[in-house]
Amino acid sequence: MSTTATELQTEVQRRRTFAIISHPDAGKTTLTEKLLLYGGAIRLAGTVKARKAAKHAVSDWMEIEKQRGISVTSSVLQFDYDGYRVNILDTPGHQDFSEDTYRTLMATDSAVMVIDVAKGVEDQTKKLFHVCRQRGIPIFTFVNKLDRHGKSPFELMEEIENVLGIRAYPMNWPVGVDGNYKGVYNRRLAQIELFESGGAHGQWVMPSTIGSAEDPAFAELLGTDVHNQLIEDIELLDMAGDQFDIEKVLKGELTPMFFGSALTNFGVRPFLEEFLQLAPAPLARRSVDGLVAPDDEGFTAFVFKIQANMNPTHRDRIAFIRICSGKFARGMSVKHVPSGKSVKLAQPQQFMAQERVIIDEAYPGDVIGLFDPGVFGIGDTLCVEGKNFQFEDFPVFPPEHFARVQPKDTMKRKQFVKGMTQLTQEGAVQVFRQPEIGVESFVVGAVGVLQMEVLEYRLKQEYGVDILMQHLPFSVARWLDGYDPGKPVKGLDSGMVIRDGKERPVALFRNEWSVRWAVEQNPQIRFLTVPER
Ligand code: GDP
DSSP one-letter string for 151-196? --HHHHHHHIIIII--EEEESEEEEEETTEEEEEEETTTTEEEEEP
Query: Is residue 84 a part of any domain in this protein?
Result: no
- Ligand 1 pocket member 34 (CB < 6 A): no
The Cα 407–Cα 466 span in angstroms is: 6
Query: Is residue 198 a part of any domain in this protein?
Result: yes
Does 147 show up as a binding residue in the annotation? yes
Residues 57 and 117 in one domain: yes
Portion of the chain with pLDDT greater than 90, in percent: 48
Domain boundary among 255, 280, 305: 280
Query: Is residue 79 a part of any domain in this protein?
Result: no
- Ligand 1 pocket member 451 (CB < 6 A): no
Assess whether pLDDT exceeds 50 at residue 51. Answer: no
Does 172 show up as a binding residue in the annotation? no
| pLDDT tens, position by position, 183-216 | 889 998 888 888 766 544 555 555 566 767 777 8
H runs (alpha helix) in 16-168:
28-38, 47-58, 63-68, 99-106, 123-135, 153-159
Q: Name which of 25, 252, 260, 19 is nearest 122 in CA terms.
A: 25
When pLDDT is averaged across residues 146-172 and rounded to a whole number, the result is: 94
Angle between helices 268-278 and 28-38 (to 10 degrees): 80
Range of the domain at 297: 286-383
Residues 243 and 176 in one domain: yes
Query: Is residue 294 a part of any domain in this protein?
Result: yes
> Cα–Cα distances in Å, from 20 out to 77, 256, 266, 297?
12, 14, 18, 29
Number of domains in the chain: 3
The Cα 328–Cα 382 span in angstroms is: 11
Query: Is residue 10 a part of any domain in this protein?
Result: no
Assess whether pLDDT exceeds 70 at residue 74. Answer: no
The Cα 477–Cα 122 span in angstroms is: 23
On the CB side of 499, CA atoms within 13 Å amount to 13
Which range has the top average pLDDT, 239-243, 297-301, 446-450?
Answer: 297-301
CATH number at residue 313: 3.40.50.300
CA of 35 to the centre of ligand 1 (A): 14
- Ligand 1 pocket member 28 (CB < 6 A): yes
C-alpha dihedral sign at 24, 27, 29, 31: negative
CA of 49 to the centre of ligand 1 (A): 10
Does 90 show up as a binding residue in the annotation? yes
Domain boundary among 263, 280, 297: 280
Residues 467 and 515 in one domain: yes
Residues 420 and 362 in one domain: no
* Rg (the chain; Cα; Å): 25
- Ligand 1 pocket member 26 (CB < 6 A): yes
| pLDDT tens, position by position, 5-50 | 899 999 999 999 999 999 989 999 889 888 988 887 655 444 454 4
At residue 95, the pLDDT reads 57
* Three-state DSSP state, 444: strand
Does 345 show up as a binding residue in the annotation? no
**Who contacts 3 (Cβ-Cβ below 8 Å, separation ≥6)?**
none
Atom of ligand 1 nearest to the CA of 24: 2
Instruction: Judge contact between 257 and 171, C-beta under 8 A.
Output: yes
At residue 458, the pLDDT reads 85
User: What pTM value is reported for the model?
Assistant: 0.88
Q: Among 146, 263, 264, 271, which is best to mutate for testing ligand 1, by the most ligand atoms less than 8 A from CB?
A: 263
- Ligand 1 pocket member 30 (CB < 6 A): yes
Query: Is residue 168 a part of any domain in this protein?
Result: yes
Query: Is residue 388 a part of any domain in this protein?
Result: no
> Cα–Cα distances in Å, from 216 out to 184, 191, 224, 228, 485?
17, 13, 10, 11, 77
Atom of ligand 1 nearest to the CA of 262: 23
Does 29 show up as a binding residue in the annotation? yes
Instruction: Judge contact between 8 and 326, C-beta under 8 A.
Output: yes
CA of 279 to the centre of ligand 1 (A): 24
> Cα–Cα distances in Å, from 129 out to 32, 163, 177, 255, 424?
18, 11, 29, 11, 26
CA of 28 to the centre of ligand 1 (A): 7
**Who contacts 215 (Cβ-Cβ below 8 Å, separation ≥6)?**
192
Atom of ligand 1 nearest to the CA of 22: 3
Please list the residues that pair with 88 across neighbouring strands: 18, 77
Query: Is residue 9 a part of any domain in this protein?
Result: no
CA of 93 to the centre of ligand 1 (A): 14
Confidence of residue 390 (pLDDT cuts 50, 70, 90): very high
- Ligand 1 pocket member 186 (CB < 6 A): no
The Cα 304–Cα 104 span in angstroms is: 7
- Ligand 1 pocket member 22 (CB < 6 A): yes
- Ligand 1 pocket member 147 (CB < 6 A): yes
| 454-485 burial code (b ≥16 CB/10 A, e <16) | bbbebbeebbebebeeeebebbbbbbbeebee
Domain boundary among 280, 298, 318: 280
